[in-house]
Structure 1
Amino acid sequence: MRFLDWYLKIAVGSALVGASMEFFMIKTGFYDKVTVLESEKRAWESSPEAQAVREALNPWKNQDIQARKNS
């Protein structure tokens, strides 16, 4: 109980810093930008071009699957 005032000061300070960061992100439109970027990322990941890139980066995928089936 000796350091209770320090813990309360730290908790209040942390809450104020977190609230100010959230307020800043809301005011600058951060969440809207992130939502758009995430939707574009998901759309690209499901495209045929992304599938071709994944297959090109891992040419042994089919061999690994066959090896698992045979063992």
Structure 2
Amino acid sequence: MAVKFLDWYVKIAVFSALVGGSMELFMIKTGFYDKVTVLESEKRAWENSPEAQAVREALNPWRNRDEEAKKNS
């Protein structure tokens, strides 16, 4: 039964590979990966900053209580 639809699966696989390859080529040609790398490094740098820590603590004042409750149980 699977052999009956083998040509259909091959067509789908080839089409999917062509679409995926085209998307990758587009992202490489437009510099997408370079932009994402810069954005991710800036995001990580900000997340590790004292300002970000202060914002996290201000937004979740119960975090320390939650961590202590987990330790005690």
TM-score, with length taken from structure 2: 0.86
Deviation by residue 1:26-68 (Cα, 9 ceiling, x = unmatched): 0000000000000000000000000000010111123334444
Given the superposition, is the C-alpha separation of residues 66 and 4 from structure 1 closer, same or farther in structure 2, using an over 3 Å criterion? Answer: closer
Given the superposition, is the C-alpha separation of residues 70 and 5 from structure 1 closer, same or farther in structure 2, using an over 3 Å criterion? Answer: closer
Identity of aligned residues (%): 83
2:37 is aligned with 1:47: no
SS of 1:2 mapped into structure 2: coil
Equivalenced residue count is 71
In the alignment, structure 1 segments of 5+ residues that lack a partner are none
TM-score, with length taken from structure 1: 0.88
Backbone CA RMSD of aligned residues: 1.5
Displacement of 1:69 in angstroms is 4.8
Aligned to 2:59: 57
In the alignment, structure 2 segments of 5+ residues that lack a partner are none
- Over 6 Å off, 4+ runs: none
Letter in 1 for 2:60: N
Aligned to 1:5: 7
